[in-house]
Amino acid sequence: MLFTSSCALTGLNPKHRTPIFAGKYPDFSEADTLFGALTAERESYDIHYYNLNIAIDPENQSIRGYSDIAFIAVEELSEIQVDLYENMAIDAILWNKDTLEYVREYKAVFIQFPENLTKNENHSIRFHYSGKPVEAPRPPWEGGFVWEKDENDNHWIGVACEVTGASLWRPVKEHLSDEADSVRLEITIPKDLVCVSNGNLLNHTVNEKTETYVWKTRYPINTYNTTLYIGDYKKFSIPYHSAFTSFDMDFYVLPYNFEKANTHFQQTVDIVYVFEQLFGPYPWPREGFKLIESPYAGMEHQTAIAYGNKYENMAGLNVDHIILHETAHEWWGNSLSVIDFAEVWIHEGFATYSEALYLEKTESELASLQLLSFYSMLIRNKRPIVGPFDVNYWKYKDTDLYMKGALTLHTLRNAIQNDSIFFDILKSFYNNHKYGFASTVDFIDLVNQKTNDDYQWFFDQYLYSRVCPELEIRYNHNSNTNTNELRYKWTKANDDFKLPIQVFTGEEYITIVPTRQEQTLNLGSTSRININPKKSYIAVREK
């Protein structure tokens, strides 16, 4: 008799067990709170527009320039918090004709105005700064500037700063809850290089020794998604047309990879098409889609995705993982966003599950389940998926936000047992919050509304607890009736946990709903069954 466990294709998988000792959070400091919390000096104003004008010196790995920060006072105020890393110099902060006073505290810059600003007034400051931005120790996971050379010894530069923060290279209001309505980037670089950034290219000027590129995005964008790439790029384009949208896909690659990229990047059309069917139209049609070869693995920068996966598809599949995952972020993370990294599973879990959904649509259900099975073995169950708020906390080594986030969605799908409702939930969740923000509670409320049921028991287990539900099973032959029996119960799960589990007998699927009390399923003469063939995320322990 073969018992097949959750998310494993053969045998019982002990990796799904919950470790005895929980992972510890760091001791959060005042600096963490200043960086992660919506302080009064942040909450009092709303960002409208950043106009960044900088020159980049690759030889000295430095930046000099200014940022115009346009905002509205949402209440009467005399002080605001703008953020800039301590190693970057503040040369001057100007407001109208005044040079403003400021106090620096860790990464926070508290700027004082000479008079109170009235509620609902619009204002702009010009923040002059310079310095050598933090270099990324392990991009994109440990962020910062990346100063590399390509194979032809040309400068190849990028920046990735999702958790480390955009304030490592430019002054910003460093809180996810406030996205600028638009951003303009005027970037001067050495001659004979190309600069690519978010949105549309407005202007390109060739100077005596330098070149200046002006890019602008007119969609809402968070601080870490605003980026730049500098290199010896060669560009090609693919037109995209669907029932929803039409725009150009632009690809910036190093010249020696041009032919390879021309073939490899064709898959991007299919990826966007499938995601449009699943979630809704591509969010940024006026500014198109860009994929830029980068000196690091990848990053979901809005309309300007970083690609550094060496033109390799996933093993045995016709799709590149980096293109697939980062493109999914254009919906999950870039358009629909969270306001605190405590809930970043909504970015990463949804994007990771999007990979499996893509394979289901383009390859097979088996390919999708195989991917989820592999991801399930990477789950660590050291901490709950939803983390601590107001401290800018998220450690890239905790892959549960990706993997367990994805398996949570897949398990929810199996729990609902109605794909029409489940996919309506995904599409509605996205469309209800596109170009804005969503929380875990928003998602739970929508699930309850669409199913006309209360799934709090489900989310308490998978999002707010670190414990993987464990199903204890034992096989018994009843000599009185000469039949086989499966006896089962939850041994590790909340008391109200009621996840339905499928059992495949070889001829039919039977749904059981285990509880903390042992129950019995009569199998008749069946001697070979498959527990949980749809790969809900549970552990199965044979007694």
- Domain-ending residue, one of 408, 443, 462: 462
Residues 394 and 446 placed together within one structural domain of the fold: yes
- Domain-ending residue, one of 419, 438, 462: 462
Q: Tens of pLDDT along 160-210?
A: 999 999 999 999 999 999 999 999 999 999 999 999 999 999 999 999 999
pLDDT at 5: 31
326 located within any domain:
no
311 located within any domain:
no
497: CB partners within 8 A, 6+ apart = 457, 458, 461, 469, 490
- For residue 510, what is the domain's CATH number? 2.60.40.1840
Q: Are 188 and 206 in contact (CB under 8 A)?
A: no
66 located within any domain:
no
pLDDT higher than threshold 80 for residue 510 = yes
368 located within any domain:
yes
Q: Tens of pLDDT along 12-34?
A: 455 678 988 899 999 999 999 99
pLDDT at 14: 54
Q: Per the omega criterion (within 30 degrees of 0), is the bond before 239 cis? A: no
Residues 390 and 421 placed together within one structural domain of the fold: yes
- For the chain, the distance separating the N- and C-terminal CA atoms, rounded to the nearest angstrom, is 14
Q: Tens of pLDDT along 358-374?
A: 999 999 999 999 999 99
Mean pLDDT of the chain: 95
Residue 373: alpha-carbon gap to chain centroid: 21
Residues 451 and 479 placed together within one structural domain of the fold: no
453: CB partners within 8 A, 6+ apart = none
pTM of the model: 0.95
Residues 513 and 425 placed together within one structural domain of the fold: no
Owning domain of residue 343: 338-462
Domain tally, the chain: 2
- Domain-ending residue, one of 462, 482, 517: 462
Higher pLDDT, 18 or 255: 255
18-22, 49-53, 97-101, 423-427: segment of lowest average pLDDT: 18-22
413 located within any domain:
yes
Residues 343 and 455 placed together within one structural domain of the fold: yes
Residues 455 and 496 placed together within one structural domain of the fold: no
Q: Tens of pLDDT along 83-99?
A: 999 999 999 999 998 99
Residues 445 and 534 placed together within one structural domain of the fold: no
- For residue 390, what is the domain's CATH number? 1.10.390.10
pLDDT at 224: 98
453 located within any domain:
yes
288 located within any domain:
no
135 located within any domain:
no
Q: What is the mean pLDDT of residues 505-518?
A: 93
